[in-house]
Chains A and B, each alone.
Chain A
């Protein structure tokens, strides 16, 4: 089931102490992610986009403001918010199926049921063949497919992706984008996708939020109309990105 995410007055600083205030990383930011929406957070490195994602995931503690998922405040990491990292973060001691089953254990299924569901989840990301392979035996794109299957297997309401395709070659990346688009359309999850690649943001998302500056803040917020790529929109977003 998909749920809305509401970010209200979120500010984050790192390295603060009693005597010295924290160095601000992110200025007060408001952002509403409607249930089932696909939003890209676009910005250069160091603009605080990963910080926003980390705060929604529950790993980054805000210095001000709050985040709610369907009205429930985020106080820490939880399985309602699935996470996909750039470095895959697969467990190298488990096979692809084992990695997915790790996520399924929470649901208290019988072993056979867990196995069936894990194989189905891998088939859904196009990796039925590699189920018994270890991550080190899989290519980067295949590893990221497993990571997607694992994140989705935990049945999250929100899917958070932190530059998930940044380490992939161009061809693999566009295939993975297609896969993610399809998964989103099928599941209707609320997706927050962090990237520094303007074309990736425009190709994937319904909405592109441009972050920039130091400390980071929202520079622009564009709806992306469905259909073929719009060069005018790309120029506009690029201009906002450059302004940061």
Chain B
């Protein structure tokens, strides 16, 4: 039935409770393991050491620089890929003849992991920003296409027929029927696309970069700075969750009629 947004307050806290408890337990286990000596010294930092490493990075400016480089890459790649993927998804979802032509090709390309394309992207475009942005855009395009295509092809035919019999011309049928009807799928596509952008970002930066969160992980790995690596992973995790929460909130705002 109709989805009403849950007001923040005791109910939300009630749902957060178990999650907080589990996170606390994991943190405690991590601390105990790091302190127990079961892991070789230097290979597992405590939570405190991880936060200290994070603070170090924040103080000397590497964190800000890496974050800026990674966000610019992921953001630009995501924007390009999401735009093209949505456009293609709307086209193939709405036009069966186009879908028959394009879907087999895209279905073949989709399972090839983006990381497998890093050497090719480097060979074609060098190790500059273009290769990274295009790699991320490509991975996002395929992910977003799949969701949008599926969503658009499920738009009930009676909605489109009703609009036509009410005299709505093509541009109104797109803007006022197809677009809102597919909006829940579009927002799900963007959420999935954002997680794929993060995956592709790491793959692209590991292939060679001068700054970036994953690049920093590689450098820290070479110097066995496990505390810094933990800090970097923490940042990647927080980044992923933050982007997803942002898009989920947008979804509740713009697609309240969705099935979710």
Contact = CB atoms under 8 A, between A and B. Distances in A.
Given A85-B158, A106-B166, 11 more contacts: A77-B164, A79-B165, A79-B167, A82-B166, A83-B161, A85-B162, A91-B162, A91-B177, A92-B257, A134-B2, A136-B2
24 contacts: A57-B161, A59-B161, A77-B161, A77-B164, A78-B167, A79-B165, A79-B166, A81-B165, A82-B166, A83-B165, A89-B156, A89-B162, A91-B162, A91-B180, A93-B180, A93-B183, A102-B166, A103-B166, A105-B168, A105-B172, A134-B257, A136-B1, A137-B2, A150-B162
Nearest to B1: A136
B149 to A, nearest CB: 20
Nearest to B167: A79
B181 interface: yes
B159 interface: yes
A93 B181 contact: yes
A67 to B, nearest CB: 15
Interface of B: 1-2, 156, 158-159, 161-168, 172, 176-177, 180-181, 183, 255-257
Interface string A77-110: 1110111010101011100000000110110000
A93 B256 CA distance: 8
A103 B165 CA distance: 9
Interface of B is mostly: helix
A102 B165 contact: no
A154 interface: yes
Nearest to A134: B2
Interface of A: 57-59, 76-79, 81-83, 85, 87, 89, 91-93, 102-103, 105-106, 134, 136-137, 150-151, 154
A203 B26 CA distance: 69
Contacts of A79: 165-167
Contact of A89 (B158, B168, B176, B180): B158
Contacts of B181: 91, 93
A85 B2 CA distance: 22
A150 B167 CA distance: 12
Contacts of B162: 83, 85, 89, 91, 150
Contacts of B158: 85, 87, 89
A81 B165 CA distance: 7
B178 to A, nearest CB: 11
A154 B166 contact: yes
Top 6 closest pairs, chain A to chain B, by CB: A79-B167, A89-B158, A136-B2, A106-B167, A92-B257, A77-B164
Contacts of B183: 93
A136 B257 CA distance: 8
A154 B156 CA distance: 21
Given A93-B181, A134-B257, A136-B1, A154 B159 contact: no
B250 to A, nearest CB: 15
A89 B166 contact: no
Contacts of A93: 180-181, 183, 255-257
Contacts of B168: 102, 105-106
B161 A89 contact: yes
A1 to B, nearest CB: 16
Nearest to A54: B161
Given A134-B2, A137-B2, A77 B165 contact: yes
Nearest to A92: B257
A117 to B, nearest CB: 14
